[in-house]
Chains A and B, each alone.
Chain A
Amino acid sequence: MSSVCEKELILTEPARRGSKEAFETIVKMYMKKAYSIALGLVGNRDDALELSQEAFILAYRNIKQLKPDRKFFPWFYQILRNVCFSHLRKTRSRRSQSLEKIEEQGPVADVDDSFMPDVVAERNETKDRLWKAIGKLDQKHREVIILRHFQNLSYEQMAQILFCSRGTVMSRLYYARQRLKELLGTEKGGD
């Protein structure tokens, strides 16, 4: 972990000066992580690929805004989450607009229908339900679940990239898990 941080700091300065090669190395260091986080936030592969690449493009164009003594990833994460959340807002807005046009429509489809379980490895019914339930969480609660369970970040690391305290991380995790329990019906012994 520390060698990754050192490498990142060594690469950040030339990248800030416009070195394409340095930025390419940074992208290759973080592309899988960025894709995986985007997948957790938006729920499907094509969007995750597109949005993670878009976040890197924005980072490349704005790399001079990254202060020399700061790490790349926490800064990049802010861009990535903004790109993903903005995409979700647009999708929701488009969907609600198209639904308004359809008369006699049933209950409004859930915003996160895009959370299809085909991205889950070694699927079973419980995992499918859990993935769909994660998709139904609101953004800040889904985010902590993804960072904790799929990125294996510690509370300290989560607090660092979310720009909040450890207490806030714990509190968000509590409400996120509480909501997941409700969605899965575990409180009734359904699982």
Chain B
Amino acid sequence: MACEDYKDLMMGYLDEELSAEQIRQFEEHLKACKACTAQLQEFRQLKAITDQMTLIEPEDRLWQQYWDGIYNRVERGMGWLIFSVAAILLIIYGGFKAIEDLITDPTVGLLLKIAMLALLVGLAILFVSVLRERIFFWSKDRYKDVRR
């Protein structure tokens, strides 16, 4: 086998993740290969520095507030969802009532009736278009196919 074939074993050897047979196989290669021995030494130096490195832990206050931060955002999301559904229902109801009143009102001129109707139809088309776009993006959502 060429040195290239030993690169994975070198990592396992460095991290003490090899079986006894793999260790024997790799050490045999090391005896015959100065390049891999030198490379292993460099990796050992790098590992020594990396193993010394730790990251600063945040203060306890942050952990005490961590769940509250999540729960508040979940709750707020629910609030917005309920609010949006209610607002949409009210707008649809109001729209229908407005159209009904407009059509049955004899004092309103025909041109105004047509203009108002066109305005509402335009709004409905815009709403459907935005909704369709949202559904399209949702179907492409990167979290939808999270492996489990």
A119-146 interface bits toward B, Cβ cutoff 8 Å, 1 = contact, 0 = none? 1111000110011000000000000010
Contact check: which of B15, B43, B55, B148 meets A65 at CB < 8 Å?
B148
Chain B residues packing against A (C-beta within 8 Å): 7-12, 15, 17, 42-43, 45-47, 49-58, 62-63, 66-67, 69-71, 73-74, 77, 142-143, 146-148
Given A57-B77, A163-B147, 16 extra CB contacts under 8 A: A24-B67, A28-B66, A49-B58, A49-B62, A75-B147, A75-B148, A78-B146, A78-B147, A122-B54, A150-B53, A166-B17, A170-B12, A173-B15, A174-B7, A174-B8, A181-B42
A56 vs B71: C-alpha distance in the bound complex, in angstroms?
A: 10
Name the residue in B9, B63, B71 with the highest tally of chain A Cβ atoms < 10 Å from its Cβ: B71
Give complex CA distance A46, B17 in Å.
35
Structural contact, A171 and B8, CB atoms closer than 8 A = yes
A92 within 8 A of B: no
B47 to chain A, nearest CB (A): 8
User: Are the C-beta atoms of B50 and A53 separated by less than 8 Å?
Assistant: no
B146 contacts across to A, CB distance below 8 A = 62, 65, 75, 78-79, 82
With A45-B58, A177-B43 as contacts: A170 and B70 at CB distance below 8 Å: no
B57 to chain A, nearest CB (A): 8
Q: Which A residues lie at the B interface, using CB under 8 A?
A: 20, 24, 27-28, 31-32, 35-36, 39-40, 45, 49, 53, 56-58, 60-62, 65-67, 70, 75, 78-79, 82, 86, 119-122, 126-127, 130-131, 145, 148-150, 154-155, 163, 166-167, 170-171, 173-174, 177, 180-181, 184, 186-187, 191
Supposing A155-B17, A187-B42 touch, asked if A127 and B53 sit within 8 A by C-beta, the answer is yes
The SS class assigned to the A binding surface is helix
Determine how close the nearest CB of chain B comes to the CB of A63; give it in whole angstroms.
Answer: 10
B49 interface neighbour in A60, A78, A126, A171, Cβ under 8 Å: A126
A53 near B66 with CB under 8 A, answer yes
Report whether B70 and A53 are in contact in the complex, using a CB–CB cutoff of 8 Å: yes
A-B contact pairs, 10 of them (CB 8 A): A24-B67, A53-B70, A57-B73, A60-B74, A61-B74, A78-B147, A127-B49, A130-B53, A174-B11, A186-B42
**What chain A residues lie within 8 Å of B57 (beta carbons)?**
32
List A contacts of B43 (CB < 8 A): 177, 181
Task: Give A35 Cβ to nearest chain B Cβ, in Å.
Answer: 7
Contact A66 B148, beta carbon cutoff 8 Å: yes
C-alpha gap A121/B17 in the complex (Å): 27
Whether the Cβ atoms of B53 and A149 lie closer than 8 Å is: yes
Known contacts A120-B55, A149-B53, A170-B12; A28 and B45 CB within 8 A of each other: no
Q: Which residues of A contact B55 (CB under 8 A)?
A: 36, 39-40, 119-121, 150
With known contacts A66-B148, A177-B46, A121–B70 Cβ distance under 8 A: no
Contacts of B53 in A (CB 8 A): 120-121, 127, 130-131, 149-150
